[in-house]
Amino acid sequence: MSDHDFSGFSDFQEDNDWAGAKCQGFVENLPPPLSNLGREYFRRQPWASHPSFVTAAPFWVGDVYHLPRDACRSVVLPACLAWVCVRLQDQMMDESENQWIKLSPLNPILFMEMTRQYRTLFPVSSSFWNYLEQYLIEWTQSISWEQTDHWNKLHDYSEDDLLLIAHKAAMFKLSAIPVALLAGHQEAVEPLTQFVDYTLVAFDLVDQLRDWREDLQNKHYGYLLTKAILGARWSDPTPPSEDFVQRVFLFTDVLDSVMSIAAKYSRLARDCAVHLKGQYLIDYADTFAQHCELILSQIAKDREQAFKNIVEA
């Protein structure tokens, strides 16, 4: 997604670099061999040179409530540790060569440090701990459901399943909800939760379009591939070829339908952001909705050119 007109990432470049240095410093200061595992993780998954939702969203929400930078940073670091746990778990589930599983001892250490940092922010009686438990359940339920029902299996989805799919990244909420709680705005939790959920639906659908070839090869049948293959009445027990799926994309409206859903959820996220009066949140949702519309426009152009090539062949 282009952020040419959206400053919500570039405005917090320094904070992203700070968070990366802190996370890498934490694992490098662990006793060996854990420190070696930490270095190996960041060798395989280098810290992003540009801010992401995880590192920028605490400041977007903090901007709504005029929280100082240090308060926002206190949320960024445990949120980043949580996201490293999630990414490591994802890699271990996706791999076939048992390379990432060797790094699994890092996960309980990272989780323990994450909770230690949250204990300095929220007392035991805080509602934060209920939310943390909720997000952990959403995440683990989602990845278990996806692996059980949609890896190596073509089971149809309903649109109601989209939020369950998005919960694969439920821990993203740790970049938003704790900021509102620190600011004393419990009433913001529901619209913020919806903002993140709707954003994740849109993001995941766009991500599925980008990764469809790899997902097809691995038989990871997400919403897009499943709608394309079942919609074309594929009945062979073996997976279809890339060429078959490309033809489905070309000669049916499945791409248009799925990307229109992504655009719809971006607009729903924007509605939540407007309710919260969060300018960065509004601008982010606008930018993502525009990205979805650009994808739809490009799909139409590519289809028109393909038909023209067929006619002129």
**Alpha helix locations (H) across 211-278?**
212-218, 223-231, 242-251, 254-276
Instruction: Say how far residue 287 (Cα) sits from the centre of its chain.
Output: 16
Cβ atoms of 200 and 169 closer than 8 Å: yes
E strands, the chain, are: none
Q: How far apart are CA 96 and CA 111, in angstroms?
A: 25
Q: What is the pLDDT of residues 125-148, one digit of tens each?
A: 999 999 999 999 999 999 999 999
User: What sign for the dihedral angle of Cα 252, 255, 260, 265?
Assistant: positive
Overall fold of domain 10-312: Farnesyl Diphosphate Synthase (1.10.600)
User: CA 199 to CA 173: how far, in whole Å?
Assistant: 11
Q: Are 230 and 154 in contact (CB under 8 A)?
A: yes
pTM over 0.75: yes
Non-local (6+) Cβ contacts of 299 within 8 A are 255, 256, 259
Q: Mean pLDDT check: name the lowest of 9-23, 36-50, 90-104.
A: 90-104
The CA-to-CA distance between both ends of the chain, in Å, stands at 35
Instruction: Name the residue ranges covered by the structural domains of the chain.
Output: 10-312
Name the phi and psi angles at 220, rounded to 5. -100, 95
pLDDT tens, position by position, 85-126: 999 999 998 877 778 999 999 999 999 999 999 999 999 999
* Per-residue pLDDT tens over the stretch 211-249: 999 999 999 999 999 999 999 999 888 889 999 999 999
Cα(145)–Cα(167) distance, integer angstroms: 11
Give tens-digit pLDDT for 245-274. 999 999 999 999 999 999 999 999 999 999
- Whether omega for the bond prior to residue 108 falls within 30 degrees of 0, making it cis, is no
% of the chain surpassing 90 pLDDT: 88
